[in-house]
């Protein structure tokens, strides 16, 4: 029997997160590959284990069936960072609590689910995966940022040099994959081959597709681009006379930047990341990525546009688009990926 979880408005005084995006979405963490997002249901039972770390929280629940037998379910949810931003911490649930989890179940018939929300024993519903909960109509709001932090953030902001927050869960995209690239996915097992499952962060361009804040900071003549997810740091070389061809290939590649008015244009090559995404689409070391970060006139938004060229992966240049907004006082939180105990 499917349960219909109760609606609840979360009372935080701040901005409502807008999770809408347009166009096709460049997938994040392959949720739709592992879970049937059209098949939502509730699992009710006792919490017997809690893994409260990034990149995803995992709750283990023991469920009692109608015949009196029990079965164990594992529920994967959002990150600790995303829950912190809506005022939810580790103390929201304890081992022994009776809860009801609502979300998408495994496509492979496993006792696993992507848990969007959780109803506590008190009857209160809380989001466990804020982006997914918002998609099914739950109202999600940011926890308030202190006035002191907002004032400090406003004083420290200088053009592009500040912390930027995402307004969506994925980048809108136009990805004209080659037949060979799509065929290569067939050999990829998202539940076993995804490096993220071993806390190995993605390289370019996949690392830019995430719902967490980023920050630009000056580093001498160069620019550092800090990403909260995976604690990533990219260096954008603004005045380097070094030959790009002589640079070693890495998963992040070698990025060279220039200013065109209020637009930061970044060209990245020398990338040896084998996968374009988290569903096994390959990319070659010939990929070239051109990013354009455009600061709005009022300096409250940062538009993002990407052109990707790789004859092995795309029939023609592919594009990605997105936007960040400025929330004074927001900060980059530690991500500190960890794996559950074996």
Average of per-residue pLDDT across 46-73: 94
pLDDT band, residue 189 (cuts 50/70/90) = confident
**Residues 6+ away with beta carbon under 8 Å from 318:** 173, 174, 175, 176, 307, 308, 309
pLDDT band, residue 33 (cuts 50/70/90) = confident
Same domain for 311 and 236, yes or no, is: yes
Q: What is the pLDDT of residues 242-257, one digit of tens each?
A: 689 899 999 999 999 9
Same domain for 121 and 196, yes or no, is: no
CB 217 within 8 A of CB 224: yes
In 3-state terms, what secondary structure has residue 186?
helix
Same domain for 177 and 88, yes or no, is: no
Burial group, residue 220, by CB count within 10 angstroms (0-12, 13-18, 19+): exposed
Average of per-residue pLDDT across 138-164: 90
**Inter-CA distances, 61 with 54, 64, 70, 111, 314, Å:** 19, 10, 10, 10, 43
pLDDT at residue 2 tops 50: no
Q: What's the total number of domains in the chain?
A: 2
pLDDT at residue 4 tops 50: no
Q: Is residue 6 one of the residues assigned to a domain? A: no
Residue 83 gets which letter from DSSP? H
Q: Is residue 9 one of the residues assigned to a domain? A: no
Same domain for 106 and 181, yes or no, is: no
Q: Where among 83, 111, 135 does a domain terminate?
A: 135
pTM of the model: 0.85
pLDDT band, residue 24 (cuts 50/70/90) = very low
Same domain for 229 and 129, yes or no, is: no
Q: What is the pLDDT of residues 71-112, one digit of tens each?
A: 999 999 999 999 999 999 999 999 999 999 999 999 989 999
Same domain for 126 and 168, yes or no, is: no
Report the CATH number at residue 117. 2.40.50.140
Q: Of the ranges 26-30, 177-181, 194-198, which is most confident? A: 177-181
Same domain for 293 and 170, yes or no, is: yes
CA angle 177–178–182, rounded 5-degree value: 75
Show the tokens assigned to 258: 């220039």
Q: Which domain holds residue 233?
A: 147-325
pLDDT band, residue 21 (cuts 50/70/90) = very low
Same domain for 207 and 77, yes or no, is: no
Q: Is residue 312 one of the residues assigned to a domain? A: yes
Q: Is residue 16 one of the residues assigned to a domain? A: no
Same domain for 80 and 217, yes or no, is: no
Same domain for 89 and 162, yes or no, is: no
Q: What is the pLDDT of residues 193-214, one digit of tens each?
A: 888 878 989 999 999 998 899 9
Q: Is residue 218 one of the residues assigned to a domain? A: yes
Same domain for 186 and 292, yes or no, is: yes
Inter-residue long-range contacts of 1-5, CB under 8 Å, 24+ positions, other chains counted: 2/40, 2/41, 2/42, 3/41, 3/42, 3/44, 3/100, 3/102, 5/42, 5/100, 5/102, 5/117, 5/119, 5/125
Q: Is residue 156 one of the residues assigned to a domain? A: yes
**pLDDT of res. 23:** 38
DSSP element (H, E) containing 125? strand 125-127
């Amino acid at each position: 029997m499917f349960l219909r979880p109760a609606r609840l408005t979360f009372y935080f005084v701040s901005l409502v997160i807008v999770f809408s995006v347009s166009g096709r979405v460049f997938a994040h963490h392959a949720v739709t590959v592992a879970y049937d997002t059209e098949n939502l249901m509730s699992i009710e039972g006792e919490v017997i284990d809690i893994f409260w770390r990034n990149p995803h929280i995992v709750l283990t629940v023991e469920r009692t069936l109608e015949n009196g037998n029990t079965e164990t379910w594992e529920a994967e949810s959002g990150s600790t960072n995303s829950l912190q931003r809506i005022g939810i911490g580790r103390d929201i649930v304890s081992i022994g609590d009776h809860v009801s989890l609502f979300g998408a179940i495994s496509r492979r018939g496993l006792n696993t689910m992507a848990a969007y929300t959780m109803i506590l024993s008190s009857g209160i519903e809380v989001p466990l995966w804020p982006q997914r909960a918002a998609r099914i109509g739950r109202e999600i709001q940011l926890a308030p940022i202190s006035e002191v932090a907002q004032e400090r953030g406003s004083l420290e902001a200088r053009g592009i040099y500040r912390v930027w927050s995402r307004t969506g869960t994925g980048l809108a995209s136009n990805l004209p994959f080659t037949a060979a690239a799509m065929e290569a996915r067939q050999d990829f097992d998202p539940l076993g081959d995804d490096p993220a499952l071993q806390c190995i962060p993605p390289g370019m361009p996949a690392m830019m597709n995430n719902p967490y804040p980023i920050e630009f900071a000056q580093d001498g003549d160069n620019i550092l681009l800090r990403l909260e997810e995976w604690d990533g740091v990219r260096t954008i070389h603004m005045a380097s006379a070094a030959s790009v061809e002589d640079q070693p290939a890495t998963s992040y590649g070698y990025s060279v930047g220039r200013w065109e008015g209020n637009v930061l244009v970044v060209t990245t090559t020398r990338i040896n990341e084998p996968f374009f995404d988290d569903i096994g689409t390959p990319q070659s070391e010939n990929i070239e990525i051109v990013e354009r970060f455009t600061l709005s006139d009022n300096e409250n938004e940062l538009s993002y546009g990407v052109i990707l060229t790789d004859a092995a992966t795309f029939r023609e240049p592919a594009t990605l688009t997105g936007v960040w907004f400025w929330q004074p006082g927001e900060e980059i939180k530690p991500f500190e990926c960890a794996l559950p105990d074996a």
